[in-house]
Structure 1
Amino acid sequence: MSDYDVIIIGAGLAGVTAARELSHAGRSVLVLEANDRLGGRVYTADRLGVHLELGGNWIHWLQPHVWAEVTRYGLGVDRGPKSEETYWIQNGKVVKNDLEGFLKFIDPGQRKLTEHAARLMPRPDLIETSKAFQEADKLTLQEVFDSLDLSDEERDANECAWVGHCNGPLDEVGYSAALRWTAATAGEWTTMHTATSVLRIKDGNNTLVDAIAADGAAEYRLGTPVVSVRHSDDNGEVTTADGTVITARRIISTLPLNILHELDIQPALNLIKRAASEEGTASKGLKLWIRVKGPIKPFFAYSTQHHPLSVIRTEFVGEEDAVLVAFGADIDRFDFEDIEQVSEALKVWRDDLEVLEIAAHPWGRDPYARETWLIQRAGAYTRSQEELRRSEGALHFASGDIANLWAGFFDGAIESGLETARNVNKELG
């Protein structure tokens, strides 16, 4: 007889959602989490004087699964300050305008880039298998930019905007990233831009994770890494780092794609799953928080994809300081823990910002993640999306990395957790 009906590996949003659903269905559920906290890549820390989101950050009512959860638990939502100034680079010189001016400047390029999104992916909540999409999926985002008739100035501005979205070098990012996100907002790139970068949970995104985890009777064990999984068609067992063996009728892995292949699983993973994990995602960038001396006006700034920091904006404003959030394409491009190097990186736009503190979590170096949010490489969606979602015997999978509609977001993790829990519960009878 098994110790539990279901063991879930990982207590991120996908894991806690699946645990809640299965617990509500009357199943005995154990969640094993390697870290000493809930949340996975949802990581709120009180630093720099604010609720700092070191991991996932923004939500929107156009993301249906996460918005339903926010409504369910009555969580407050707010936004950062509206930009009063916007900077970008043209011919090596800084242009200062307002955010509307920048968006107007890049609008022609963005429309060229995303104009076919709704046609190529009419139902982003379903796996797209059309020949037209598969051909588009072969391209990198850089190859598509190279094919557009953009001036050098337009090109830099359009490219760096997508570094903020994709968190990786554009010659490694699949064009499908732009297509999938824009298809989720009916082909409107400006709507996509707003839906992915404005609203946040007022008291910290961890409050959503905590609310879901507390809703149900699942058992949680933190600081408990899983080192191996053995499974058959009817049951399975996991072994934790301290040698404890635990059995269950079903097992759900919520591991990020980049570390899935590192887990000892027998029978071995399907070769397509393993290859996708070994290849890894294109999301190798950096999210950096910077506290600067105030007062300052809230601002947005874009450089180019080749600078250490491509995008930066004001997220919190105080009377004596402000907290900025910045994104770069490659975590290894400069020492983001060195205040002097961060100060130097800011000078591409302005030299009047005095850096007081910095904070970041190096997700690409985190042994339990090795990636930020999901950004697939060229062709990866076509090669692996369907297989990554398929169960193998008693072993099932749930993660924002394998979601359909909003992969890489809170919404995708919840979508995947809900779907996998439903499938597991059905199998258990």
Structure 2
Amino acid sequence: MPEETDVVVVGGGVAGLITARELGRKGLRVTVLEARDRLGGRVWTDHRLGRDLEIGGTWLHWVQPHAWAEVNRYGLEVTRGPRPEEAYWLAGDEVRTGTLDGFMELIDPGMRRLLEGTMHHIPRPDKPLSNPELASVDGFSVQDKLDELDLPVEEYRANEAAWVGHFNAPLGDGAFTSALRWTAATTGSWHLMHEASAVFRLASGTKSLVEAIVADTDAEIRTSTEVSRIEHDTDGAVVTTTGGERISARRVVLTLPQNLLGDLDVSPGLCAEKKAATAEGTASKGVKVWIRVRGPIKPFFAYSSASHPLSVVRTEFLGDDDAVLVSFGADASRISPHDRDAVAEALRVWRDDLEVLEVTGHDWMADPHSRETWLMQKPNQLTRYFAAQQRAEGVLHFAGSDYANVWAGFIDGAIESGHRVARDITTTLT
């Protein structure tokens, strides 16, 4: 006979842990099943290159209400990397140098024009589908809309590289509405959106948030436990693991990201929209690379273009005799985060005076438990699939940053979705 519990949560990332914590507070028995040998999912603090590095999700901000509530709940300290003193970008094949303020002034006209209709298209970011006319722009990519602006080459390349950094994807794959969603979350301000998505981080790493949530829940948490099959009916579900364990539950919460969810063995099967979203995949397929270089150096940032293997790089840690940079590229298949020579060559598009000592990262696209980085949707996915992705199917509920309303793809979105699903379940079980 299967063991029994009230709720099984599949996935021990932030969304799953928040769900478990909130359900436990209502007196429900919760079992969390995590396939990896660690908790956190796509947030992962690991000690490499002499520092505690964020291998996955990193940044948060006080305009992200759910994440900031957790920061205050647990008294977590927030910090940031060093402010850049130098900036590098491309004008065609020519490298330009300047300051952070100068670069922001360069991209400001293009950003404003690209995003000027944000609050018309998405007047309520907490209800991203509230505008019935949204489908009229959901079919466009960011590349489509950027090309319409007919910017001078220097402005175009700078704007292009900035969006590649945000999307972690080729811009022809990324939906224009994904850019609108991020900017709507900051009431149309691209400056604030840029800051909220790429500056502030937890001083003790995202592991401090994960550890705090785990310590605050009485759920039974099992790592290295992968789910192989879920059978469900109107009364409950039986979850079977690859190890042969069978757990009977009144409700099941699935926190798998979009690129995995539709492939899970579920009987009866998931709806057509969830399966189609998985089959299409998200736009994001990029790479995050950590780079240790010989120091001392001045803190800097640099943008290249979508055609380069690394489009964005900036200083995140400074030491007496070294520095650690974080960088992003649009396509993980073009550069390995473990290939020091290739990374050193990629940096030379801006400067040839940096001695690369070590590099590291994680191939999230090849990771069988993610197969994506952070959520950036493809054209038409928001209006075709999003409502169905959030929708419960009988006793099955769906949480995860990919299915958040406001800050989808962020830690804040994972927390938001965990609260939403926990609330939905407690209204029927307690």
TM-score for the superposition, normalised by structure 1: 0.99
- Is residue 74 from structure 1 mapped to residue 75 from structure 2 by the alignment? yes
> Residue 216 of structure 2 aligns with which residue?
215
Question: Cα deviations across residues 220-271 of structure 1 (Å, max 9, x unaligned)?
Answer: 0000000111111220011001111111000000011101122100100000
Question: Cα deviations across residues 91-119 of structure 1 (Å, max 9, x unaligned)?
Answer: 31110100100000010000011111112
**What residue identity is the alignment partner of 1:112?**
R
Deviates more, 1:123-132 or 1:299-308: 123-132
**What residue identity is the alignment partner of 2:152?**
S
Given that residues 288 and 326 in structure 2 are in contact (C-alpha distance below 8 angstroms), is that contact kept between their aligned partners in structure 1?
yes
- Is residue 34 from structure 1 mapped to residue 35 from structure 2 by the alignment? yes
- Is residue 43 from structure 1 mapped to residue 44 from structure 2 by the alignment? yes
C-alpha distance in 1, partners of 2:93/2:132? 41
Question: Cα deviations across residues 336-369 of structure 1 (Å, max 9, x unaligned)?
Answer: 3211111100000000100111110100000000
C-alpha distance in 1, partners of 2:69/2:336? 39
> Residue 4 of structure 2 aligns with which residue?
3
User: What is the Cα deviation at residue 51 of structure 1?
Assistant: 1.2
> Residue 228 of structure 1 aligns with which residue?
229
User: What is the Cα deviation at residue 278 of structure 1?
Assistant: 1.2
C-alpha distance in 1, partners of 2:191/2:384? 29
After superposition, where does 1:10-409 map in structure 2 within 5 Å? 10-409=11-410
C-alpha distance in 2, partners of 1:52/1:253? 28
C-alpha distance in 2, partners of 1:394/1:260? 16
User: What is the Cα deviation at residue 129 of structure 1?
Assistant: 4.0
SS at match of 1:396: strand
C-alpha distance in 1, partners of 2:262/2:366? 16
User: What is the Cα deviation at residue 427 of structure 1?
Assistant: 1.4
C-alpha distance in 2, partners of 1:102/1:37? 40
SS at match of 1:169: coil
Question: Cα deviations across residues 3-26 of structure 1 (Å, max 9, x unaligned)?
Answer: 000000000010000000000110
How high is the sequence identity, in percent, across the aligned residues? Answer: 53
C-alpha distance in 2, partners of 1:334/1:390? 37
Unaligned runs of 5+ in 1: none
C-alpha distance in 2, partners of 1:197/1:408? 13
C-alpha distance in 2, partners of 1:131/1:101? 39
**What residue identity is the alignment partner of 1:64?**
P
Deviates more, 1:360-369 or 1:332-341: 332-341
Question: Cα deviations across residues 309-331 of structure 1 (Å, max 9, x unaligned)?
Answer: 00000000011000000000000
User: What is the Cα deviation at residue 50 of structure 1?
Assistant: 1.1
**What residue identity is the alignment partner of 2:81?**
G
Given that residues 122 and 130 in structure 2 are in contact (C-alpha distance below 8 angstroms), is that contact kept between their aligned partners in structure 1?
no
User: What is the Cα deviation at residue 161 of structure 1?
Assistant: 0.2
Given that residues 87 and 301 in structure 2 are in contact (C-alpha distance below 8 angstroms), is that contact kept between their aligned partners in structure 1?
yes
User: What is the Cα deviation at residue 149 of structure 1?
Assistant: 2.5
Q: Give the root-mean-square deviation of aligned CA atoms.
A: 1.0
SS at match of 1:196: helix
**What residue identity is the alignment partner of 1:371?**
E
User: What is the Cα deviation at residue 2 of structure 1?
Assistant: 6.7
User: What is the Cα deviation at residue 402 of structure 1?
Assistant: 0.6
TM-score for the superposition, normalised by structure 2: 0.99
- Tell me the matched-pair count: 429
User: What is the Cα deviation at residue 333 of structure 1?
Assistant: 1.1
SS at match of 2:134: helix
SS at match of 2:212: helix
Given that residues 163 and 170 in structure 1 are in contact (C-alpha distance below 8 angstroms), is that contact kept between their aligned partners in structure 2?
yes
C-alpha distance in 1, partners of 2:303/2:320? 25
Question: Cα deviations across residues 165-207 of structure 1 (Å, max 9, x unaligned)?
Answer: 0000000000011100000000000010001111100011111
